[in-house]
Amino acid sequence: MSIIKINNLSKSFGNLEVLYNISFELEAGESLVLLGRSGSGKSTLLRCLNGLERVNTGDITVAGHKMDYESSKLRLLRNDVGIVFQQYNLFPHLTVAANIALAPRLVRKVSKSDALTLAKEVLGQVGLLEKIDAYPSQLSGGQQQRVAIARSLAMKPKVMLFDEVTSALDPELTGEVLDVMEKLAKSGMAMVVVTHEMAFAKKVSDRVIFLHNGRITETGNPDEIFSSPKTPEFKTFLGAVG
């Protein structure tokens, strides 16, 4: 059963056409890596999947929700779709525990003690239980990003979206975040990952999509696509990222 289904998605910002005629499906439990040069439309595509951007045309179904921009419908979809951003976007005025507990408390109406249990559980998953009472500003970038992942996981999402979550990190901190994501993928979480980490893409993903100027230029499973790239654009891209 597919957890994401996109049909003929097109998106423009004013006159600027950013995504053309995108169609793909992702099966439950699979992880998809989105590759492409800067400006190729990766973030926009990802943000279309949880309704942060509105498409001009096309049908989107994610985790059983057909995309509908009516706000209560959109919230139902977002209940099941987690997203992690490049800049972490933790709430700086709240402790780690409160960051994680906020949405379950407000949206899922989880009790205070259950929310705390939940926070401990997801912090355990990302290996940061000891930071439960810290404020985001007291954490390293890698730790903040792991808390951001934990915050999403606390909503028990059916799909996780990752937008270049290691790009803002010092190289020595990317590993800890990628490890968490790899574990998550292995546990059967459906994920869409925008990344420039080729090793991660090769090792973890089930599917790869290469976007070029807003079009799906090449797609396939990682074994094929990396060993025998077909289009000159993808060859050039692989040459550039190494």
Partner 1 sequence: MRSFGLNEIWYMLQATQWTLYLSILTFVLGGSVGFFIALARCSRSRLLRAISGLYIQIFQSTPLLMQLFLIFFGLSLIGFRLPVLVAGSIALTFWASAFLGEIWRGCIEAVPEQQTEAADSLALTPWQQLRYVILPQASKIALPPTIGFFVQIIKNTSLTSIIGVTELMRASTNMNNATFEPMKVLAVASLIYFATCYPLSLISRKLENKLNVDH
Ligand X SMILES: Nc1ncnc2c1ncn2[C@@H]1O[C@H](COP(=O)(O)OP(=O)(O)O)[C@@H](O)[C@H]1O
Q: What's the min distance (Å) between Cβ of 97 and ligand X?
A: 32
Choosing among ligand X, partner 1, Mg ion, none, which partner's interface includes residue 155 (Cβ < 5 to 8 Å by kind)?
A: partner 1
Here's the x/- map for partner 1, 135-174, by CB under 8 A: it reads as ----------------xx--x-------------------
Q: What's the min distance (Å) between Cβ of 67 and ligand X?
A: 18
Of 26-34, 90-98, 165-173, 180-188, which segment contacts partner 1 by CB under 8 A? 90-98
Choosing among ligand X, Mg ion, partner 1, none, which partner's interface includes residue 41 (Cβ < 5 to 8 Å by kind)?
A: ligand X
Which residues ranging from 9 to 68 are in contact with partner 1 (CB under 8 A)? 50, 52
CB 211 within 8 A of CB 166: no
Here's the x/- map for Mg ion, 24-53, by CB under 5 A: it reads as -------------------x----------
From candidates 71, 113, 227, 228, binder to partner 1 by CB under 8 A: 71
Q: Cα torsion for 47, 193, 165, 204, to the nearest 10°?
A: 170
Per rule CB under 8 A, is residue 107 in the interface with partner 1? yes
List the 2-13 sheet strands across, edge first.
16-27, 2-13, 57-62, 65-66
Which residues ranging from 33 to 72 are in contact with ligand X (CB under 6 A)? 36, 38-44
Per the structure block, which two tokens stand in for 124?
């355990």
Q: What's the min distance (Å) between Cβ of 136 and partner 1?
A: 12
Residues that bind partner 1 (CB under 8 A): 50, 52, 71, 75-76, 78-79, 81-83, 85, 87, 89-93, 102-103, 106-107, 151-152, 155
Residues that bind ligand X (CB under 6 A): 13, 16, 18, 36, 38-44
Residues that bind Mg ion (CB under 5 A): 43
